[in-house]
């Protein structure tokens, strides 16, 4: 009898589909992308698609989980020493670097608009929760170190860092002249100003 032929090959093909889907979603949105379009881009039949993912939604959830895991891993691998505000800025740089792939901003925007499907909503909620929970402790430490203003609670400050970050991603998606490489510095500057102790 024959069992799993090659788990590595399986994983590779799975990633191939995920990659094709990422491109399609970024180009046409989630609802605007048909499974047939993903199959065409990936060069597979629809039977193969549904062999790897039971539903179109499960594919989206798999991609989202990949991103959430990545965020979790980044904060887990984050060095505990050094200036806390440097960690915040390092994360901003990390995100900017990720957005060098021109599909990413479009994907983020496309996925943010998927609403009404409870499982997707839950996945998106968890994604922002992981990010917020990863960032907030560093803001707290920065406040304790006197590096960051204390007139707003750390939770609110963290939310506002994410506000700027989300706006940044959105602009990347819609404005061709606005690129991650050119604006990464200003992003750091904007967040530094947002968090600065000095009253303006």
Following DSSP, what letter does each residue of 78-120 receive, concatenated?
Answer: --SSS-HHHHHHHHHHHHHHHTTSTHHHHHHHHHHT--S-HHH
d(CA 43, CA 17): 9
Residue 114, both tokens: 């998927």
Contact between 200 and a copy of itself by CB under 8 A: the answer reads yes
Of 142, 168, 180, 184, the one binding a copy of itself (CB under 8 A) is 168
Contacting residues for 13 by C-beta, under 8 A, at least 6 apart: 44, 48, 52
Contact between 118 and a copy of itself by CB under 8 A: the answer reads no
Q: Per-residue b/e over 83-112, b at no fewer than 16 CB within 10 Å?
A: ebbebbbbbbeebbebbeeebbbbbbbbbe
Residue 27, both tokens: 């180009």
Q: Give the one entry of DNA, a copy of itself, none that residue 57 binds, where binding means its C-beta sits below a cut-off of 5 to 8 angstroms depending on kind.
A: DNA
Of 19, 23, 29, 57, the one binding DNA (CB under 7 A) is 57
d(CA 39, CA 146): 54
Query: Binding string to a copy of itself for residues 73 to 112, with x set by CB under 8 A, is what?
Result: ---------------------------------x--xx-x
Residue 91, both tokens: 């994360």
Nearer to a copy of itself, 3 or 182 (CB): 182
Q: Give the one entry of a copy of itself, DNA, none that residue 165 binds, where binding means its C-beta sits below a cut-off of 5 to 8 angstroms depending on kind.
A: a copy of itself
3-state secondary structure of 77: coil
Of 15, 32, 69, 150, the one binding a copy of itself (CB under 8 A) is 32
Segment near DNA (CB under 7 A); pick from 9-17, 81-89, 112-120, 144-152: 9-17
| Min separation Cβ 146 and a copy of itself, Å | 14
- Residues in contact with DNA by CB under 7 A are 1-7, 9-10, 13, 33-37, 43-48, 50-52, 54-57
């Amino acid at each position: 009898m024959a069992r799993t032929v090659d788990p590595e090959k399986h994983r590779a093909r799975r990633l191939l589909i995920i990659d094709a889907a990422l491109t399609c979603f970024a180009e046409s949105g989630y609802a605007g992308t048909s499974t047939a379009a993903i199959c065409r881009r990936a060069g597979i039949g629809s039977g193969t698609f549904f062999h790897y993912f039971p539903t179109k939604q499960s594919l989206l959830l798999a991609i989202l989980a990949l991103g959430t895991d990545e965020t979790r891993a980044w904060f887990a691998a984050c060095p505990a020493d050094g200036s806390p505000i440097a960690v915040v800025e390092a994360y901003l740089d990390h995100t900017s670097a990720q957005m060098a792939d021109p599909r990413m901003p479009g994907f983020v925007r496309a996925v943010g608009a998927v609403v009404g499907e409870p499982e997707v909503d839950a996945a998106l909620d968890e994604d922002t929760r992981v990010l917020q929970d990863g960032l907030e402790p560093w803001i707290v430490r920065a406040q304790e170190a006197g590096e960051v203003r204390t007139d707003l609670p750390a939770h609110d400050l963290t939310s506002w860092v994410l506000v700027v970050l989300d706006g940044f991603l959105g602009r990347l998606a819609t404005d061709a002249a606005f690129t991650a490489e050119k604006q990464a510095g200003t992003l750091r500057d904007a967040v530094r100003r947002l968090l600065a102790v000095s009253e303006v």
